[in-house]
Structure 1
């Protein structure tokens, strides 16, 4: 079988021309970059002096809250403003910081610093370069315009992608079918020749599958894979063997 073909159940062979990638948690290592940023801000803001003696507990609590709020943002339950106003406030209060001493500018400083970080998942560049020689690559991100632009530019990954679709710009988030249709229209692609790769089961994988487009689940932490998700990789480099 040619590497550009994937054998599906019932011996169906699918050949792709377009690959659509998610950005955060799939190529750009969101958690690692956030952790670096928060360790720096923990020291800058001297958070130990307002009742947070453990930087690691602070980061762990923030990460959990942030993931939950992003899941709500994906599905339109909260806005960008609500996400940004809530994630650190909730974390500080959960850890016992009095509302009167919450660091007001913390969110703004985090938003300025975090997108400048450049940690990608292992083998991101070589994988994207390999795939670019065989397919037309695109990005579909639920991220915010300013942050996504910085992440793409600072890591020099923009050169691999023909079209970059950022949900905030078009006003539609994954898993809404409209963002996948918009991406296909922009790319001049058809569903049957396209595949989505992302870490979010709800936004990326089921979003694409429910739209009628194939998907690969990027699962770097080996979370349980639902039985109705046929394709997954745990490392980006696996894509060079699968596609």
Structure 2
């Protein structure tokens, strides 16, 4: 029955945390953050990652704006680590947004799996990521050839899990719910969003966290998809 496979991008194909870590290590040195009392890049990255994940969860649900997310994630991190607001590097967020999308680390097996699936199905992206960064990631990571459509929530006007995103995506692809499936890492945005809409979904769970009871199917490695399809 399945003809169309819709993938999330960040944390599913494009390794967001690894690419963010590389960028933050570069910026940690560039801005000499130890001079501000931040001696541990690992602690800085961990604190940022926790804040960023929390803010993205709120953004998925429409609780905050893109501008709030971008202004808050680093200011909150520096504040929690004891840096006075007037000492926070003003261009830190701007540099992060400029550099991070140019990183090209993908989850292991991504290209192999996409090449395999592309022979049998029509592949698409549905991303809540910001438009300009999403397009940069797709281009520099050489992902565009695998996907028929790249649906970005900013173009729709609402984020996953809003059913309007899935309606827009299916209309764009010329697909039905019954012949479509969503694969992503976010329980709320990707999995429950798709399931509540009436689409099948597969939870990508590379950290092998406990699977909630309402999640019907999961994988911990992308290459498992080659056994399922």
TM-score range, shorter chain: over 0.9
Q: Of the candidates 48, 57, 62, which is equivalent to residue 34 of structure 2?
A: 48
Q: Write the deviation string for residues 190-239 of structure 1: whole angstroms up to 9, x where unpaired.
A: 00000000000000000000000000000000011011211100000000
Q: Report what 1:5 is aligned to.
A: none
Larger Rg: 1
Does the aligned pair in 1 maintain the 2:125–2:149 contact within 8 Å? yes
- Tell me by how many angstroms 1:51 deviates: 1.1
Q: Of the candidates 146, 166, 180, which is equivalent to residue 194 of structure 1?
A: 180
Q: Which moved more, 1:161-170 or 1:116-125?
A: 161-170
Corresponding position: 1:36 with 2:45? no
Q: Report what 1:93 is aligned to.
A: 79
Corresponding position: 1:20 with 2:9? no
Q: Report what 1:66 is aligned to.
A: 52
Q: Report what 1:157 is aligned to.
A: 143
- Tell me by how many angstroms 1:100 deviates: 1.5
Q: Report what 1:4 is aligned to.
A: none
Q: Report what 2:132 is aligned to.
A: 146
**Count of aligned pairs between the two proteins:** 229
Tell me, in whole angstroms, the C-alpha distance in 1 between the residues paired with 2:219 and 2:74. Answer: 32
Q: Report what 1:9 is aligned to.
A: none
Q: How does 1:76-225 map to 2 (within 5 A)?
A: 76-225=62-211
Q: TM-score, normalised by structure 1?
A: 0.94
Tell me, in whole angstroms, the C-alpha distance in 1 between the residues paired with 2:153 and 2:166. Answer: 10
- Tell me by how many angstroms 1:169 deviates: 1.9
Give 4+ residue runs of structure 1 displaced > 2 Å after superposition.
none
